[in-house]
Amino acid sequence: MPAPWITYRPEIKVLDCTLRDGGLVNDHHFDDPFVRALYQTCVEAGIDYMEVGYKASKKIFARDKFGAWKFCDEDDLRRVFGENQTPLKLAAMVDAGKADYKTDILPKDKSILDMIRVAFYATQVSEAVDMINDAYQKGYEVSANLMAVSRNTEVEIEQVLELIAQTPASVIVVVDSFGSLYTEQIEMLVKKYLQYAKPTGKEVGIHSHNNLQLAFANTIEAIIHGANRLDASMGGLGRGAGNCPMELLIGFLRNPKFRIRPIWAFVQDYIEPLRRQIEWGPYAQYMMTGMLNQHPRSAIAARSDGQMRDRYVDFYDKITAED
Amino acid sequence: MPAPWITYRPEIKVLDCTLRDGGLVNDHHFDDPFVRALYQTCVEAGIDYMEVGYKASKKIFARDKFGAWKFCDEDDLRRVFGENQTPLKLAAMVDAGKADYKTDILPKDKSILDMIRVAFYATQVSEAVDMINDAYQKGYEVSANLMAVSRNTEVEIEQVLELIAQTPASVIVVVDSFGSLYTEQIEMLVKKYLQYAKPTGKEVGIHSHNNLQLAFANTIEAIIHGANRLDASMGGLGRGAGNCPMELLIGFLRNPKFRIRPIWAFVQDYIEPLRRQIEWGPYAQYMMTGMLNQHPRSAIAARSDGQMRDRYVDFYDKITAED
């Protein structure tokens, strides 16, 4: 019997989504020392991609209400990353319906970004196809991220995959936005995505949330069934229950190009201090919305309401009554 | 394709190990209101077994240094549980090398305990066989719990299973004491245990620790491969990183006999207040000992040392240098 837990698959690449998903917790208000230290950590740890934030519409989101990483202007990118003379690739996410992507995403030769990740709901797939084509034609690697897939039926998912398979996106990501998927569902989805991705030379990725303490486990499950693109964040920083913790993922991957010690240093020096200011993690309310396959917004509201925060049963009664 | 995440296997039984494994965090100093509320919760939630503590030797462990649940004297059991006129079965653990089991375990007709769980390391298997026979002859259901299996080789494990298979134990439990096992290792172990258990009519169980945030995931994995006896604890309370959280497990099991609302009430009213006094959970140092397949004792020491607690990199350097 083989022991795959001590070997590795060289095709596997890791993306750090600390700034992007974590930005949803603090409206992207990360200061430059934090961002620079994270960048340095990703480089030293051998991480492949760092997703620095969103290219969000300034018509929809007020520039002065959010930190720079909501918009990822080229000036901000270069102020912190310079010309990025490292093997680490930089990525930004662009949301269907929330971006002026035609103007805000510059041609690749004018940007230090390497990858554009297009995030969309199933009903937005037609716009997503346009966005993918736009980013590809401008010269970027492109990833297609169908969000909240736990709310879609199999035929909807197959319809999306059929359309995305025809685009020049090089990655299709299984995105468990609500942190509600169990092992066997991850297996089914990864296999389904691979059916469409493999024949067109695309890779499949996984982006998990930790509502059920399954973010790391589901990432392993996705790897077992063939996913080669993995999202994780330092200390699991991310919206609500957070994401797959990078320290656990890098501790599991056996490719010697990855190094865990710089990650522990970043968690010690930057994540733990941040934890005293903002909250994320698999708290009770996030478990409940995960179990019910609900958006975490009600849980986020309860956790930030001093009256509701510790009243788990009231919250449970409320969200099950409304379900 | 089937959707097993919405169906259930009626053979599955759940054991609450809150008091027993949690007792390792606070030297079993639980007060009676806590224990009574836990008992009531288990009954209301439809849990099958409640493991109330150890039958530990009073020659080895001073009676006045530990709470009552280190010893589980019959007087203490009856003071709190009366005659236990409920479907909930009561269990106690007995450690090889640390118990006067011949005298301290009463004949079944003199005790309200239903099950004895014999915990042992591989090298203690001969004593474990004697202990299993003793408890069975006294009239109890017996479980055989080979601890720290992540430190044993396949041939050692097979030797243990061959000997245990011949005993009257009705359950053999895969015990991940160090919280270091990954998905595929759980699969391999459960399948191996079943090879020995099934032909002799025994069930296989799972007892996980949460060092790598895999306690719940590994419990699911064990279920998928045929384990029917599941350990979990309220809020994951247990030594070091803790165990599989009962609230997540019951949220996953679809047998309508289980009810989650009483569990949320117990977590709200008893577990969260306890969290302000004692600590457990998948903190950085526990992740590190889990990754290295080490006993959590160095991590427990570091977490309780004000000087070391936040110095993750120093701890990492220390335990990797010593490894």
B8–chain A Cβ distance below 8 A for any pair:
no
Mean pLDDT computed over A248-260: 98
- The one-letter amino acid code at B38 reads L
Q: State how beta strands B171-175 and B141-146 pair.
A: parallel
Alpha-helix runs per DSSP H in A125-243: 125-137, 154-165, 183-197, 215-224
Substitution target in B178, B188, B192, B220 with the highest count of A β-carbons within 10 Å is B220
pLDDT tens per residue, range A147-195: 999 999 999 999 999 999 999 999 999 999 999 999 999 999 999 999 9
Q: Which helix (H) or strand (E) holds B94?
A: strand B89-95
Mean pLDDT computed over B159-171: 98
B267–chain A Cβ distance below 8 A for any pair:
yes
How sure is the predictor about A322, in pLDDT bands with cuts at 50, 70 and 90?
Answer: confident
B208–chain A Cβ distance below 8 A for any pair:
no
Radius of gyration of chain B (CA): 19
Q: Is the CB of B217 less than 8 angstroms away from the CB of A216?
A: yes
pLDDT tens per residue, range B232-241: 999 999 999 9
Q: Is the CB of B287 less than 8 angstroms away from the CB of A247?
A: yes
Q: Is the CB of B261 less than 8 angstroms away from the CB of A313?
A: yes
Q: How many CB atoms lie within 10 A of CB B3?
A: 9
Q: Is the CB of A215 less than 8 angstroms away from the CB of B213?
A: yes
Residues of A in contact with B270 (CB under 8 A): none
Which residues share a beta bridge with B54?
B93
B178–chain A Cβ distance below 8 A for any pair:
no
User: What average pLDDT does the structure give for chain B?
Assistant: 97
Q: How close, in Å, is residue B130 to chain A by CA atoms? A: 33
How sure is the predictor about B115, in pLDDT bands with cuts at 50, 70 and 90?
Answer: very high
Could you give the CA distance from residue A237 to residue A239 in angstroms, rounded to a whole number? 7
Q: What is the pLDDT of residue B323?
A: 77
A215–chain B Cβ distance below 8 A for any pair:
yes
Check whether A323 has a pLDDT greater than 80: no
Which has the closest alpha carbon to A237: A227, A247, A223, A252? Answer: A247
Which residues are CB-contacts of A92 (< 8 A; sequence separation ≥ 6)? A20, A51, A52, A53, A54, A55, A72, A113, A115, A116, A117
Exposed / middle / buried, residue A11 (Cβ in 10 Å: 0-12, 13-18, 19+): exposed
Could you give the CA distance from residue B270 to residue B145 in angstroms, rounded to a whole number? 28
In chain A, % of residues over pLDDT 90? 99
Which has the closest alpha carbon to A7: A304, A253, A177? Answer: A253
For the question of whether the overall pTM of this predicted structure is more than 0.95, the answer is: yes
Q: What are the structure tokens assigned to A161, written together?
A: 């995959």
Q: What are the structure tokens assigned to A112, written together?
A: 């230090």
Could you give the CA distance from residue A303 to residue A311 in angstroms, rounded to a whole number? 10
| Nearest-by-Cβ selection for A313 from B182, B268, B311 | B268
Residues of A in contact with B182 (CB under 8 A): 5, 220, 252
Q: How close, in Å, is residue B194 to chain A by CA atoms? A: 16
Q: How close, in Å, is residue B265 to chain A by CA atoms? A: 6
Residue pair A178/A145 in contact (Cβ under 8 Å)? The answer is no
Radius of gyration of chain A (CA): 19
| Nearest-by-Cβ selection for A264 from B224, B268, B316 | B316
Question: Distances in Å between the alpha carbon of A149 and those of A99, A123, A234?
Answer: 21, 11, 24
Mean pLDDT computed over B273-302: 98
Q: Which residue has the tokens 């609230």?
A: B247
What DSSP line would sit under A183-215, residue for residue?
HHHHHHHHHHHHHHHGGGT-EEEEE-B-TTS-H
Q: What is the pLDDT of residue B93?
A: 98
Residues of B in contact with A218 (CB under 8 A): 217
8-state DSSP, A271? I
pLDDT tens per residue, range B166-205: 999 999 999 999 999 999 999 999 999 999 999 999 999 9
In chain A, % of residues over pLDDT 70? 100
pLDDT tens per residue, range A17-55: 999 999 999 999 999 999 999 999 999 999 999 999 999
Q: Is the CB of A265 less than 8 angstroms away from the CB of B4?
A: no
